[in-house]
Structure 1
Amino acid sequence: MKKVSIKDIAQHLNVSVSAVSLTLNGKGDEKRISKTTQKRIVEYAQEQNYRPNSFAKGLQKGKSEIIGLVVPNISDVFFSRIARRIEKQAEQAGYDVIFSSTGENIEKESKKIQSMLDRQVDGLIIASCQKNTSDILKLKQNNFPFVLIDRLYPEIETNYVGFDNVGGVSSAVNQLIQAGRKRIGFVTLSMNLGTIRERLDSYLQTMKEHALPVENGFVHEMDYNNDEADMQNVIREMLKKPCNIEAIVFATHFLASEGLRQLKELNIRVPDDVAIVSYGEQKDFDLFEPAITAVNLPINEMGDKAVDILLRNMKETNFSYEQLRLKTELVVRKSCGAK
């Protein structure tokens, strides 16, 4: 069915386009359009299930009442949960949210940001690939409201909501040490992201504080698009001599999930043969046997804070940038060897 327009309504009722537009925008009385004409316009618009063009409506109001969300991968559980929370909080404030995925690609991220600006979004929430300095600077220079989440540009003062990666990984390593594990390995991503570097640095620092070795083969950096064979090879190498790893911290929830799958394939017992901690929860980690110890990330709080900061940035002329690092919580379960 063809969507009816203001022009269609005007032609059918033999009135001017401006009369229809003014009436449907609640300005009929102000512009002295007769009550009879207004009634005819409203009734016919309702009969035809007329819906206003949101873009045109936004131009009239000076805002679109739309927020743009740019993330690396909307299908990733982590980002999809953040997206759902942001959408919920934005809707409560009267805003719609449009989503875009960038695949960690700088060119795609730049195009997605520009596309959203072309659609007249009122503000942006961005989980950047951290290679897109030019667009982030441009947004800032134009005083456009935006909030970075999870990924930060340290050299640029911006709104930001992230996690305490250092404290989260440190708590994981300390828990394994308390459980009697000393040869602790770390599986992470070979990505030049600040969040990933912080997690690796925290692992190394915590091991150093306890005077524990980090030998060759203790740390493995994997490609984001690694396959099952890659993870299985890493697990084999870490558990055989000379490494003899007693515990593994996985830097992301999806690395932990794949690692657990390969440990099962290799008939390696958790935590008897190797203890496990994941940085980031998965929905069913508590249902595994044994249940998986994980650093729980306050995803809902991240979404709430990002929307709150953005809305205030959109309303306040003298807005001061805010940067928040949210505390994580280690959820101790049997996979870490805890008694």
Structure 2
Amino acid sequence: MKKKVALKDIAKELGVSTALVSYVMNNQEVEKGVNKESAKKIREAAARLNYRPNQIAKSLKINKTYTIGLVVADIAYRFTTGITRAIEAEAKKNKYTVIFGSSDENSDKFQELVNVLINRQVDGLILVPVENSEKEIELLQKNDVPFVLIDRYFPGLDTNLVAIDNHKAAYQCTMHLIKNNYKRPAFVNYKTKLFHLQERKYGYEQALKDSGIKLNESLVIEVREKHLEEDIKKGIKQLTSAGADSVFFATDILAIQGLKNINALKIKVPKELGVVSFDESEAFELFNCPITHGRQPIVEIGKQAVATLLDLINNNRVKRKIILESDFVQGESCGEA
């Protein structure tokens, strides 16, 4: 087996001190006053000799692993793909690596993943919490583990978080339908206690109230996640029978399933039924008209989450509740206003 190249080998190759090589390979050349030309030569020699740093030894010395743990809710969500990329890109800028896992919307798996990442000695966590995971969050706080919640949070827990104004986004989507003369807008959501989805429901209800439209419970469908296809199929039939002239889907997954059933019933969008979705999906491109939708600022969520977590890792006692606004993308599925 070929002998592993050490810092002293690079130093010997260039005729400089091992300390000087260490400063450069640990990105401390500026603070240690190493000139740019010397730093360049050291890095070139390291590459030429195929030097690979001993990350375990390095982490023990500086008490950091330069890794971030990321737990997402479900890899099937388009949001998950986007936010993972955004967090990885921002972490890389700060010389961090991201280790991630999916809880599949299961609180036991969420707890298991958090424990695995902590045992892997990540420096901090970025979490998309699931329903009934409050106790795990409280335990992280009690043990002073640096973490940031994204997308979802629990109002009763004082945590660092980066999310969007779900109430305002849902209000905007519903008002768009109403401004386009839809008088009986329906709402399709998951049956859940998660705060961000409850906020979307409240946004829908507030838009109806402000427009003088009485809430009709027969136009509100709550879908069980484990019975998604079955409940959506029944729900779309219920809404059309109840006289809905438009529908606001609380998530892109719900919208995709809903559009499948709308197609199967040969209902014309937007002529016979207006449609708006919260969040976008690549599957929307396969529909016969562009779907109007709300869009989360995924890149900004990733940037803010990483920045907040790095402050916590570096022992800055920050308290940040960052609430961002979503974008609204005009399609052709429910008018032009």
The residue that corresponds to 1:143 in the other structure is 144
The residue that corresponds to 2:194 in the other structure is 193
Determine the C-alpha separation between the residues in 2 that align with 1:291 and 1:60. 55
Q: Which runs of 5+ in 2 are unaligned?
A: 20-45
The residue that corresponds to 1:36 in the other structure is none
* Aligned with residue 332 of structure 2, among 330, 334, 337: 334
Superposed displacement of residue 297, structure 1:
1.0
Contact 1:130 1:152 in 2 (8 A): no
Indicate the larger mover: 191-200 or 52-61: 52-61
Residue 121 to residue 139, structure 1, CA distance change in 2 (3 Å) = same
**Does 2:119 align with 1:118?**
yes
Q: Secondary structure at the match of 2:218?
A: coil
Percent identity of paired positions between Structure 1 and Structure 2: 34
Q: Looking at CA atoms only, which structure, 1 or 2, has the larger radius of gyration? A: 1
Superposed displacement of residue 24, structure 1:
7.3
Contact 1:126 1:148 in 2 (8 A): yes
Residue 147 to residue 25, structure 1, CA distance change in 2 (3 Å) = farther
2:229 counterpart letter in structure 1: E
Q: Secondary structure at the match of 1:74?
A: coil
Q: How does 1:1-339 map to 2 (within 5 A)?
A: 9=3, 23=8, 51-52=52-53, 54-240=55-241, 243-283=242-282, 285=284, 288-315=287-314, 317-338=315-336
2:244 counterpart letter in structure 1: I
Q: Secondary structure at the match of 2:225?
A: coil
Contact 1:272 1:337 in 2 (8 A): no
Normalising by structure 2, report the TM-score.
0.84
Superposed displacement of residue 216, structure 1:
3.2
Determine the C-alpha separation between the residues in 2 that align with 1:225 and 1:257. 16
Normalising by structure 1, report the TM-score.
0.83
Determine the C-alpha separation between the residues in 1 that align with 2:62 and 2:9. 14
Contact 2:75 2:104 in 1 (8 A): no
Determine the C-alpha separation between the residues in 1 that align with 2:56 and 2:175. 53
Superposed displacement of residue 284, structure 1:
5.2
Superposed displacement of residue 338, structure 1:
2.8
Indicate the larger mover: 203-212 or 167-176: 203-212
Superposed displacement of residue 74, structure 1:
2.3
Q: Say what the alpha-carbon RMSD is for the aligned residues.
A: 2.6
Contact 2:8 2:18 in 1 (8 A): no
2:280 counterpart letter in structure 1: E
Superposed displacement of residue 234, structure 1:
1.1
Determine the C-alpha separation between the residues in 1 that align with 2:55 and 2:10. 12
Residue 153 to residue 56, structure 1, CA distance change in 2 (3 Å) = farther
Residue 136 to residue 85, structure 1, CA distance change in 2 (3 Å) = same
Determine the C-alpha separation between the residues in 2 that align with 1:334 and 1:82. 27
Residue 117 to residue 203, structure 1, CA distance change in 2 (3 Å) = same
Q: Residue by residue, what CA displacement relative to the aligned partner does 1:64-113 show, whole Å, maximum 9, x if unpaired?
A: 00000011112321111100110011011100000011112222111111
1:105 counterpart letter in structure 2: N
Determine the C-alpha separation between the residues in 2 that align with 1:129 and 1:25. 49
Determine the C-alpha separation between the residues in 1 that align with 2:123 and 2:147. 9
Superposed displacement of residue 59, structure 1:
1.7
Q: Secondary structure at the match of 1:180?
A: coil
1:160 counterpart letter in structure 2: L
Contact 2:69 2:100 in 1 (8 A): yes
Q: Which runs of 5+ in 1 are unaligned?
A: 11-19, 32-44
Q: Residue by residue, what CA displacement relative to the aligned partner does 1:2-25 show, whole Å, maximum 9, x if unpaired?
A: xx6xxx849xxxxxxxxx877479
Residue 231 to residue 132, structure 1, CA distance change in 2 (3 Å) = closer
2:130 counterpart letter in structure 1: C
Determine the C-alpha separation between the residues in 2 that align with 1:209 and 1:84. 38
Q: Secondary structure at the match of 1:300?
A: helix
Contact 2:6 2:51 in 1 (8 A): no
Q: Would you say how many aligned residue pairs link Structure 1 and Structure 2?
A: 308
The residue that corresponds to 1:42 in the other structure is none
Residue 56 to residue 74, structure 1, CA distance change in 2 (3 Å) = farther
1:147 counterpart letter in structure 2: V
Contact 1:281 1:296 in 2 (8 A): yes
